Structures are given as C-alpha cells and as structure tokens.
Amino acid sequence: MDSLQWTAQPAVIFDGGVRIELPTLKEWDAFSYWWEGLYLLQARPCCIAILGCKPFDTSEDSLGIPLVGWGYRSLGRRDNLVLVRDAAYRPLLKGMVKPRLQRLFIKPELRPELRPGDVIFRQFDCQGLTHVGQDYQSLWTEYNASERLLRSRVEPHGTRLFSAYWAISGPGDTRGFAVIFGKSGAEELPFADRPLYVAFASGEPQTSEARHDRTSIEARRDRNPLRSLYGKLTARHTLQAPSDSATWTCRQHDDVFKVTVRYEKRYFVQRGVVIWVDVIDILARPASTREPAGAGVMSV
C-alpha cells in the first residue's frame, strides 16, 4: 500500500502526542481493556489505523496499528502492528481510502484514578440496536465515553445521574428505549455510598408511514427524539450489592427486545484505602417469539 494514494494534512506533535490523519477501519468494541487492581476486563472503543506502508515491495497487504480510546478523543496504541489481509476491509483503492480518513490524536494513556462511587460500564452489548447517545447533567456529573466511566462532580440536585439510549433504526427513530441510572436511599448517607438504581423507559411505536419518514419535523428538530424518555420511567429497581440484575421487555409493534442490566460491586485497595466502584453491563437481544405490543415488564 502506497501513501501516495491519498493526500493528508502533515502530522503535528504537541502535548506529548501526535495529531495525524490516517485511513481507519471502523470502530468496534472487540478490544479488551484491563483495569488493574479491579481485575476487570472492559470492552473499549477502538479502531485500526492503516499506515502508508506494506510488509515488502510486492505485497498487496497493509500494515495497521491498533488504537484504543481513552480520555476525551485520545487514542493509545497497542504493542504490536497487525497485518491487514482481508480485501473486504483493506482500503487499498483511492476511492475507498478518502472516506476513511480521520484526524487522530495518539498519545500514551493517562489512566484515571478511580474514586469511591464511580460507575464503570463494562460493556454495551445490544444486538440489532444502535446506541444513539446519552444524557447527564454536566455541571453535576462527568462521563467519559472512552473509559465509559461515570462519576459525580458534586452532589446533584435530584437522584438521576445518567441515561443511555438505543434505537432500532439509528438516530431519529422513536422505536427504542432508555436505560436510566440514579442514586436512591437515605439522604444522610454520603452520596457515593447510596445504592444505585436502574430504570427503563420505552419509546412510542411509530406508524408504518412514520417509520419510513426520515424527514419528519421531529427527526429534523432532534436527531435523538428518545431524549424525552429521560423523565418517563416505566420501571425501576434498586440494585443490591454485591451483585444483582434486572430484565425488561421492550415491545415496539413486531420488534421485541429483552433488555438486561447486570450489576457488580467491586473494590480494590489504593494507597492503603479501600475503594468501592459499581460495574454495569447492559445487554439486549431480540426476543425469540413475537408478542403483542404493550407496556414494558420488569423482572428481577
């Protein structure tokens, strides 16, 4: 593969890293990230950047560098280069390279120091659905999409911390659901020590005409109409330590999904102090049989 097949901005070195424009293979969550101390494997956003070189002159294969997300829009590299052989994913032609060009900031990882009450989302595994965003009050709550780490800046007004949204057909579709997290329990407890609750809300099923109308006023006004679900809870469950789970059925006409939230309370010792954090998995699968439309059902 020859770098003359595309034109890119020159690389810039600053702040201990490099900003460079390279073609990339699509992001996915196949890379496992190891949280030391917690003994926790986490799925992380990642990509493979294609370098402007090949193993030897006569080769048609490409060399790639695996990159894993951390911090705010930063990427850290893995130890080894990879050989990209599959022609279905190898962007060797000029017409395929240009759409894949991305400006990347590559820098050695600065691992965040975990605090009591932090929430780590270990995996978002929702087959047949698109993750279309999240909501949180940024003045009170901090969320890092790369680490999938949620923490409170200050004690928030109200109990809700965070909401994540999935839609069937991607942004603009009202057929989907929200998973909402917050704190419950007595106010005299420190906020970090209060138990975590999970709640669910389902979007309104669309008519067959609206389902295919991607130019509707609602879709143009807000690419994520599911944001209105933040205040419309269908079911709520307080998660119990050391481990717990909750399952909910989302029915949207012929589309039926089983949504499961799994919870663990984990601890580790940091400089002689025991730190407790919450670990969350969110999973969704199409139900095996069709059921009539109706309200969501919670089971624990």
Model confidence pLDDT, tens digit, residues 119-141: 999 999 888 888 888 888 777 88
Question: Rounded to the nearest 5°, which phi and psi values hold at 102?
Answer: -135, 145
Based on the fold, state whether residues 141 and 66 are members of the same structural domain.
Answer: no
Sign of CA dihedral 53, 55, 60, 65: negative
**What are 287's two structure tokens?**
């139900």
pLDDT of 227 reads 63
Residue (of 263, 261, 258, 259) closest to 244 by Cα position? 263
Tens digit of each residue's pLDDT (9 = 90 or more) over 152-162? 877 766 677 88
Question: What range defines the domain where residue 202 resides?
Answer: 119-299
Q: Residue 114 falls within a domain, yes or no?
A: no
Last residue within a domain, chosen from 81, 106, 131: 106
pLDDT above 80 for 292: no
* Strand partners of residue 22: 102
Q: How confident is the model at residue 232 (pLDDT cuts 50, 70, 90)?
A: low
Q: How confident is the model at residue 296 (pLDDT cuts 50, 70, 90)?
A: very low
Q: Residue 112 falls within a domain, yes or no?
A: no
pLDDT of 210 reads 37
Q: Report how far apart, in Å, the C-alpha atoms of 65 and of each of 78, 89, 273 are.
A: 7, 14, 38
Based on the fold, state whether residues 186 and 99 are members of the same structural domain.
Answer: no
3-state secondary structure of 218: helix
Q: Residue 143 falls within a domain, yes or no?
A: yes
Tens digit of each residue's pLDDT (9 = 90 or more) over 70-102? 877 788 887 788 888 766 555 444 556 677 788
pLDDT > 70: percent of the chain = 75
Based on the fold, state whether residues 28 and 131 are members of the same structural domain.
Answer: no
pLDDT > 90: percent of the chain = 16
Based on the fold, state whether residues 194 and 282 are members of the same structural domain.
Answer: yes
The amino acid occupying position 190 is P
Based on the fold, state whether residues 143 and 237 are members of the same structural domain.
Answer: yes
Q: Residue 113 falls within a domain, yes or no?
A: no
Based on the fold, state whether residues 250 and 154 are members of the same structural domain.
Answer: yes
Based on the fold, state whether residues 214 and 276 are members of the same structural domain.
Answer: yes
Based on the fold, state whether residues 148 and 270 are members of the same structural domain.
Answer: yes
Q: How confident is the model at residue 150 (pLDDT cuts 50, 70, 90)?
A: very high
Whole-structure pTM value: 0.77
Based on the fold, state whether residues 97 and 229 are members of the same structural domain.
Answer: no
* Strand partners of residue 263: 244, 280
How many structural domains does the chain have? 2
Based on the fold, state whether residues 39 and 70 are members of the same structural domain.
Answer: yes
**Least confident among 102-116, 169-183, 206-220, 230-244:** 206-220
